[in-house]
Amino acid sequence: MEDGEKRAEELGSEIDENIGAILHEAEERFRQGARVLNDLGQQAREIIRRQPAAVLAGVAALGFVSGLLLRRAVKEENRQWKTRV
C-alpha cells in the first residue's frame, strides 16, 4: 500500500505542476491578447482622431452594405416561403 500511496502523491504533485504550468501559459496568453487589443484600440483612436470623415464614411458604407444584404435575405426568405405555401 505504501508504494501506491507514494505513487499517488507523485502523480498528484505532477498534476499540480502541470496545472500550474497551464495556468501560467494561459495567463501569459491573456496578457498578450490584452496588449494586442490595447494596441488596436489605440490605433483606432488615432485613426478616428486624424480622419473622422473617413471613419464616418466607412461606417455609412458598412450600414449600406448591411442593408443590401438584409434586403436580399428577406427577398430570398419571402421567395422560399411562397414556394412552400
Residue-range domain boundaries for the chain: 1-50, 52-85
Average pLDDT (41-63) is 94
Burial of 20 (0-12, 13-18, 19+ CB in 10 A): exposed
What pLDDT does 26 receive? 96
Three-state DSSP state, 40: helix
Bigger pLDDT: 34 vs 5: 34
Q: CA-based angle 17:22:26, to the nearest 5?
A: 150
Report the 10 Å Cβ neighbour count for 47.
13
With cut-offs at 50, 70 and 90, classify the pLDDT of residue 36: very high
**pTM of the shown model:** 0.50
What pLDDT does 31 receive? 97
Bigger pLDDT: 83 vs 49: 49
Average pLDDT (71-83) is 91
